[in-house]
A and B are shown apart, each in its own frame.
Chain A
Amino acid sequence: ETGVTQTPRHLVMGMTNKKSLKCEQHLGHNAMYWYKQSAKKPLELMFVYNFKEQTENNSVPSRFSPECPNSSHLFLHLHTLQPEDSALYLCASSQEDRGKTDTQYFGPGTRLTVL
């Protein structure tokens, strides 16, 4: 595998379900991100992890719970979602060094539908 991979690619869930999205990066990066892409809105940053530590939460509702066990893996745990949470969830990674802003590389996304 190369680049950034995400599973599953498609997910349909009810509002009472609990599911998880998985992201894995094979680029040796130390930072990982979750972005949300809704039909009517620009891409929005949700969470940032640096060296496994969460450094940014962009006012995301608690029904979204991220987890970063190591620099290569990132999860997004979902529970009690709403239909308006239906979107494409994109994972990205980058190599962040002090004073340097790196390019973020994205995975193929998980298309989530909440019924």
Chain B
Amino acid sequence: AQKVTQAQTEISVVEKEDVTLDCVYETRDTTYYLFWYKQPPSGELVFLIRRNSFDEQNEISGRYSWNFQKSTSSFNFTITASQVVDSAVYFCALIIQGAQKLVFGQGTRLTINP
């Protein structure tokens, strides 16, 4: 069975600080995909990034960056120079190749204070 753990339930920082959201996963499958979704107060899950298990290259998109390390089964998400609009609940998720069931972590509620 697969499992995703987001140990940080809530994080609160002041605007412009950098913040890292942790994600640790478990799976015995060799081919899988990892995702991050953002859920603002409106409720919609907004897709941020997808990574396959064979691509450990880190990715940067504007102020967002992701660090995928298979050795530690982690897929961490960093927001640089945080802004109030980044306040949301962030979910890490895993799906194995050929499956359609996304396994989600518990989510991390991020609050950016002005």
Contacts and interface: CB of A to CB of B under 8 A. Distances in A.
A23 to B, nearest CB: 12
A106 to B, nearest CB: 4
Contact of B102 (A104, A108, A109, A111): A104
Nearest to B95: A101
Interface stretch (B36-44, B63-71, B72-80): B36-44
B97 interface: yes
A88 B107 CA distance: 15
A109 B43 contact: yes
Contacts of A101: 33, 95-100
A45 interface: yes
Lowest 5 A-B CB distances belong to which pairs? A106-B45, A108-B44, A109-B43, A43-B104, A42-B104
B102 A43 contact: yes
The bracket for how many chain A residues form the interface is 20 to 34
B43 A103 contact: no
Interface of B: 4, 33, 35, 37, 42-47, 50, 91, 93, 95-107
A108 B40 CA distance: 10
A14 B6 CA distance: 35
A105 interface: yes
A105 B104 contact: no
Interface in A32-66: 33, 35, 42-43, 45, 48, 50, 55-56, 58
Given A103-B47, A106-B44, 4 more contacts: A43-B93, A48-B100, A96-B100, A104-B102
B102 A45 contact: yes
19 contacts: A35-B102, A42-B105, A42-B106, A43-B91, A48-B101, A50-B100, A55-B100, A58-B101, A90-B43, A92-B45, A99-B98, A101-B95, A103-B47, A104-B47, A105-B47, A107-B44, A108-B42, A108-B44, A111-B43
Contact of B107 (A31, A42, A104, A111): A42
Interface in A67-115: 88, 90, 92, 94, 96, 99, 101, 103-109, 111
